[in-house]
């Protein structure tokens, strides 16, 4: 039987056969540890009926492990040079399909409709290219796709920010943005030694479980996002100053103060001390005062 792709020997063999050189600009760090891959797949809690969307299959290390558990895998790969490689490595898995595209430009809703059954259990599973972690995750969340969740390998520092609680130094607009859509859990940290080439930063596996209902009710979701983004724009500034400089204007200071009072929040506090519930109340009050 063929060895798994994600072993150091088989990976080296494949890379040599195709004369493949890593492109740093595409975040190419391939996994060469099957144990880590098993942990990623286990975190996704796939069933034999599950469908999986993968971002960046590389030479197919993770795709192969997912294909062993799921009914179908559809992977987006931007690097054309990897297409012939994947054709060979994934030949034993005809239910694994590659789409040659930048995932950020792809119409994911359409892909899901085309490639998966209606109502099928769907997960996103990926070892993400680190240069675009946040845009990819925010796209997956903001598009409100019919998925159960997302399990991804990302930079440890980003995993900590996404899963952070209020009052911690990691807590910021990314924590609220992600936690608005999903329950976030950092599953494990991963040493750089399980990748070729080794990345410069530590990595972690993050699991996002999509919420059926948002955790807070707001009158205007887009405005709510603007409010907390503005509140974190300058972490040394107070909440009041951040709101005046980044959301409203100096002339609107009285209205901002009134909204803070209405929400029962002290304007001298810093954004990182506010919970998502407090931002929701503040957002509605600011909407009323600023119109
Ligand atoms: N899944 C493989 C593994 O675990 O060994 C490779 C992971 S590697 C960290 C990231 C992969 O994403 C690379 O294959 C890279 O070419 C691909 N990639 C980078 N940017 C992309 C984008 N915008 N859309 C789709 N794939 C992308």
232 within ligand 1 shell (Cβ under 6 A): no
What is the arithmetic mean of pLDDT over 213-226?
96
83 within ligand 1 shell (Cβ under 6 A): no
Q: Is the pLDDT of residue 291 over 90?
A: no
Residues 174 and 52 in one domain: yes
pLDDT grade for 2, boundaries at 50, 70 and 90:
confident
58 within ligand 1 shell (Cβ under 6 A): yes
* Helices 133-142/173-181 angle, 10° precision: 40
Condensed to tens digits (0 to 9), the pLDDT of residues 28-41 reads 999 999 999 999 99
Residues 202 and 234 in one domain: no
Number of domains in the chain: 2
Tell whether residue 246 is among the known ligand binding residues.
Answer: no
Q: What's the pLDDT at 171?
A: 96
Tell whether residue 288 is among the known ligand binding residues.
Answer: no
Residues 197 and 231 in one domain: no
Distance 272 CA to ligand 1 centre (A): 33
CATH label of the domain that carries residue 241: 1.10.8.100
Condensed to tens digits (0 to 9), the pLDDT of residues 68-107 reads 999 999 999 999 999 999 999 999 999 999 999 999 999 9
Distance 289 CA to ligand 1 centre (A): 46
Tell me if 3 is assigned to some domain.
Answer: no
Residues 67 and 169 in one domain: yes
Q: How far is CA 38 from the centre of its chain?
A: 19
**DSSP-assigned states of every residue in 22-62:** --GGGT--EE--HHHHHHHHHHTT--TT-EEEEE--TTTHH
Percent above pLDDT 90 for the chain: 98
Could you give the ipTM of this predicted complex?
0.99
Percent above pLDDT 70 for the chain: 100
Residue 192 is part of which domain span? 8-210
Residues 20 and 153 in one domain: yes
Distance 286 CA to ligand 1 centre (A): 41
Answer yes or no: are the C-beta atoms of 186 and 131 closer than 8 Å.
no
Condensed to tens digits (0 to 9), the pLDDT of residues 110-162 reads 999 999 999 999 999 999 999 999 999 999 999 999 999 999 999 999 999 99
Answer yes or no: are the C-beta atoms of 263 and 224 closer than 8 Å.
no
**Any alpha helices (H) in the chain, and if so which ranges?**
8-17, 34-43, 61-67, 83-89, 108-115, 133-142, 156-162, 173-181, 221-231, 239-246, 253-263, 276-290
For ligand 1, mutation pick of 4, 21, 78 (most atoms within 8 Å of CB): 78
């Amino acid at each position: 039987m063929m060895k798994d792709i994600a072993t150091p020997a088989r990976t080296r063999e494949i890379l040599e056969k195709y004369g493949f050189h890593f492109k740093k600009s595409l975040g190419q760090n391939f996994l060469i540890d099957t144990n880590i891959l098993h942990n990623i797949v286990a975190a996704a809690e796939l069933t034999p009926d599950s469908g999986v969307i993968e971002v960046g299959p590389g030479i197919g290390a993770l795709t192969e492990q997912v294909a062993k558990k799921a009914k179908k895998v559809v992977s987006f790969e931007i690097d054309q040079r990897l297409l012939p490689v994947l054709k060979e490595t994934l030949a034993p898995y005809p239910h694994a399909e590659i789409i040659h595209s930048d995932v950020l430009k792809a119409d994911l809703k359409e892909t899901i409709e085309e490639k998966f059954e209606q109502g099928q259990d769907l997960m996103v599973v990926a070892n993400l290219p680190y240069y675009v972690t946040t845009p990819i995750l925010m796209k997956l969340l903001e598009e409100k796709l019919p998925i159960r969740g997302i399990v991804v390998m990302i930079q440890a520092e980003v995993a900590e920010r996404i899963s952070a609680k209020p009052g911690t130094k990691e807590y910021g607009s990314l924590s609220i943005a992600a936690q608005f859509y999903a329950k976030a859990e950092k599953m494990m940290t991963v040493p750089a030694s399980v990748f070729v080439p080794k990345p410069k930063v530590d990595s972690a596996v993050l699991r996002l479980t999509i919420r059926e209902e948002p955790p807070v009710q707001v009158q205007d979701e887009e405005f709510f996002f603007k409010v907390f983004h503005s509140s974190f724009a300058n972490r040394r500034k107070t909440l009041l100053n951040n709101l005046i400089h980044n959301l409203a204007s100096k002339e609107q200071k009285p209205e901002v103060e009134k909204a803070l009072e209405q929400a029962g929040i002290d304007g001298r506090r810093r954004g990182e001390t506010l919970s998502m519930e407090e931002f929701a109340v503040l957002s509605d009050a600011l909407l009323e005062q600023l119109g």
